[in-house]
C-alpha cells in the first residue's frame, strides 16, 4: 500500500532527518515536526531540491508538551486531508547509572522516550481510528531486548517499554486496516551518540536510515536494522550472559 502522507517527529536531526530524506526520494509528502524550527526550514528546502514534486509541511513541536502533540498532529491531518503513516521518532539519550546523582537527566529521558511517545501514539491512533486506516511506526532500539548499564540504563528501559506499547496497540487493532510496526535500530551514527567512539557494528546515518525506511515500507510487526547483523544478533543478545552485555555498554 502506498502511504503518501507521512508524519515524522524529531525530524530536525539524526534518524528523523535521515528518514525524511529517504522518503522524499520515494515521492512521499512529509509532515515534519521538532523543537528547532530553523533546522526544519533548512531541511524543507533541501527536500524540495531533492524532489520538487512533493509537499513538505513543518511545525515546531516539543513532544513533552502533550496537548501540543494532539494539536500539531490534528493540524497536519487537516492540511493534508489524511495522514497515512506516523513515525514516532523523537527521543533522547541523556542519563547515567542509577544512584549516581543524575536523576533529572534520567527522568528527562524517561519522559521524552516513553511518556511523550504515549502522547504521540494516542494522537496518531485517534486519527487512524477515525480514518479506519493508517500505519503507526515506533522507533525503539536494539537495546530494548536487554538491560544495559550506565547512560544506557534508563534509555534501554524506555525502549523496552516502547516495544511493549507497540505490541499492545498492534493486538488492539488486529484484523483492521491499521498497521503497527516497531523498528529496532542497531548502532547508527547520529547526534545522540556522536561522542561515543567505540561502538560495535556501527553504520553511518545514511546507511542506517535507508535500512530503516526499507523496513518501514515492508510494514512488518517488528524489524531489526540494518538486517546484518541485527536480525540475528538480537536473538544472541537475549540469551547472552550479563558479562557480555556489560562489555557492550
Helix segments in the chain, DSSP class H: 14-25, 37-50, 66-80, 103-110, 116-131, 152-172, 205-218, 227-239, 242-248
Phi–psi pair at 220, nearest 5 degrees: -75, 165
Taking alpha carbons only, the member of 82, 149, 164 closest to residue 117 is: 164
151: Cβ contacts below 8 Å, ≥ 6 apart: 93, 94, 95, 96, 97
**Grid cell listed for 161:** 517499554
Burial class of residue 71 (count of CB atoms within 10 Å of its CB; 0-12, 13-18, 19+): middle
Taking alpha carbons only, the member of 149, 248, 162 closest to residue 201 is: 248
Look-up: residue for cell 536494539? 142
Looking at 76, 155, 187, 224, which residue is catalytic?
155
Active site residue 224: no
CB atoms within 10 A of CB 60: 14
Taking alpha carbons only, the member of 158, 182, 159 closest to residue 169 is: 182
Catalytic residue numbers read 155
Amino acid at each position: 500500500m502506498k502511504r503518501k502522507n507521512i508524519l515524522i517527529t524529531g525530524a530536525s536531526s539524526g534518524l528523523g532527518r535521515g528518514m525524511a530524506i529517504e522518503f522524499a526520494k520515494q515521492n512521499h509528502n512529509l509532515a515534519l515536526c521538532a523543537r528547532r524550527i530553523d533546522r526544519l526550514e533548512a531541511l524543507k528546502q533541501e527536500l524540495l531540491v531533492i524532489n520538487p514534486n512533493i509537499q513538505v509541511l513543518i511545525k515546531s513541536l516539543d513532544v513533552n508538551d502533550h496537548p501540543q502533540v494532539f494539536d500539531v498532529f490534528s493540524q497536519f491531518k487537516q492540511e493534508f486531508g489524511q495522514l497515512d503513516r506516523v513515525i514516532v521518532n523523537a527521543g533522547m539519550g541523556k542519563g547515567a547509572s542509577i544512584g549516581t546523582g543524575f536523576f533529572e537527566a534520567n527522568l528527562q529521558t524517561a519522559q521524552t522516550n516513553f511518556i511523550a511517545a504515549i502522547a504521540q501514539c494516542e494522537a496518531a491512533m485517534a486519527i487512524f481510528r477515525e480514518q479506519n486506516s493508517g500505519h503507526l511506526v515506533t522507533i525503539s532500539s536494539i537495546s530494548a531486548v536487554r538491560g544495559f548499564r550506565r547512560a544506557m540504563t534508563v534509555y534501554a528501559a524506555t525502549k523496552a517499554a516502547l516495544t511493549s506499547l507497540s505490541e499492545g496497540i498492534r493486538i488492539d487493532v488486529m484484523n483492521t486496516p491499521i498497521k503497527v510496526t516497531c523498528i529496532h535500530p542497531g548502532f547508527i551514527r547520529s547526534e545522540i551518540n556522536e561522542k561515543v567512539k567505540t561502538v560495535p557494528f556501527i553504520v553511518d546515518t545514511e546507511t542506517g536510515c535507508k535500512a530503516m525506511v526499507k523496513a518501514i515500507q515492508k510494514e512488518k510487526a517488528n524489524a531489526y536494522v540494518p538486517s546484518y547483523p541485527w536480525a540475528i544478533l538480537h536473538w544472541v543478545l537475549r540469551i547472552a550472559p550479563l558479562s557480555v552485555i556489560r562489555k557492550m555498554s
